[in-house]
Amino acid sequence: MITAHHITKEYPSGEGAVAALRGVDLTVETGEFVCIMGQSGSGKSTLLTILGGMCHPGSGSVEVDGTAIYRLDDNGLADFRARHFGFIFQSFHLVPYLTAQENVMLPLAPLAMAAAEKRRLANDALARMGLAGCTGRLPGRLSGGEQERVAIARAVVNRPAILFADEPTGNLDSATSDQVMGLFTELHQAGQTIVMVTHNPDNGHYAQRTIRLKDGLLL
C-alpha cells in the first residue's frame, strides 16, 4: 500500500519556480490498478516519479507498506526500489546492444543472487509475456509490441510489489496498446498493484480507479 501525504514539488525556472505539485494526498491499496490522468503539464509524471522513489518531493512524505521511503539514505532508497518497484516508460528504454534476456536481467544487477538464477528469472518473465522464443534477440530484431513486452518483463522480473508505468502505450498503435493493456489486466488479476500515468482515456478504462490531476492538484 502506498500512502502519499501532502506532496509538493517545485522546479526552478527562468521566471521563478514552477509548482508542479501543490499538495497531493493519495492512497493506493495493495492490489489496486490506479490510473493517473490529466492534461499535459498537470504534474502526472512528477507524481509518478515521487511515488516511485526516484525524486524527492519538496515537502510531504511517501510511505510504502509502512516504510517512509524518503527517510532512507540514497543506497537504502535504491535498494528499496530494486526490491519493491518495477518501472515501464513510454520509450521502452531497452539497451540496444543487450539481448532481451540481458535487458530483463538489468534490474536484478544490484541484488545478491547467482547469475544462473538471474537468467532463470529473466527467462520466466519473458515466457510470461509470451516471448520465450526471443530471449537471445537484440531489441532491433523485435517489433514495437515485442519490445514493449520485453520492457514489461523487465519491470516485473523482480516480482515487484508495485508496478509504475508512465505512458506505457504512448508509442504503440491501438491494436498493440490493447495487447499491452490486456497484459496489465492479467498482472492486475494476479494481484499486481499498478500505478499508471496515461493521456489515453481508452487505457483508463482498464484501471480500477482513475484519479485526475489539474495544475498540480487532485480534482
Ligand X SMILES: Nc1ncnc2c1ncn2[C@@H]1O[C@H](COP(=O)(O)OP(=O)(O)OP(=O)(O)O)[C@@H](O)[C@H]1O
Q: How far is CA 179 from CA 35, 185, 189, 207, 212, in A?
A: 17, 10, 15, 14, 24
Which residues, 45 to 84, sit near ligand X by CB under 6 A? 45-46
Residues in Cβ contact with 156 at an 8 Å cutoff, skipping those fewer than 6 apart: 86, 125, 128, 163, 187, 192
Residues in Cβ contact with 103 at an 8 Å cutoff, skipping those fewer than 6 apart: 94, 95, 139, 150, 154
Q: Verify binding: residue 15, ligand X, rule CB under 6 A.
A: no
Comparing CB distances to ligand X, the nearer of 45 and 158 is 45
Among 22-30, 37-45, 103-111, 143-151, which window interacts with ligand X (CB under 6 A)? 37-45
Beta pairing class for 193-197 and 33-38: parallel
Nearest distance in Å: CB 60, ligand X: 15
Q: Round to whole Å and give the CA distance between 182 and 174.
A: 12
Comparing CB distances to ligand X, the nearer of 40 and 143 is 40
144 and 172 Cβ atoms separated by less than 8 Å? yes
Q: Round to whole Å and give the CA distance between 131 and 97.
A: 18
Three-class SS of 30-48:
CCCEEEEEECCCCCHHHHH
Comparing CB distances to ligand X, the nearer of 43 and 52 is 43
Q: Of residues 44, 84, 149, 154, which one binds ligand X by CB under 6 A?
A: 44
Among 11-19, 57-65, 115-123, 179-187, which window interacts with ligand X (CB under 6 A)? 11-19
Length of the chain (residues): 219
Q: Of residues 34, 42, 154, 156, which one binds ligand X by CB under 6 A?
A: 42
Beta pairing class for 85-89 and 59-64: unpaired
Q: Verify binding: residue 90, ligand X, rule CB under 6 A.
A: no
Q: Round to whole Å and give the CA distance between 38 and 136.
A: 39
Q: Verify binding: residue 158, ligand X, rule CB under 6 A.
A: no
Nearest distance in Å: CB 52, ligand X: 13
Q: Verify binding: residue 18, ligand X, rule CB under 6 A.
A: yes
Q: Verify binding: residue 198, ligand X, rule CB under 6 A.
A: no
Nearest distance in Å: CB 20, ligand X: 3
Q: Of residues 6, 11, 201, 205, which one binds ligand X by CB under 6 A?
A: 11
Comparing CB distances to ligand X, the nearer of 67 and 210 is 210
Cell of 86: 518495477
Q: Verify binding: residue 168, ligand X, rule CB under 6 A.
A: no
Residues contributing to the site for ligand X (CB under 6 A): 11, 13, 18, 20, 38, 40-46
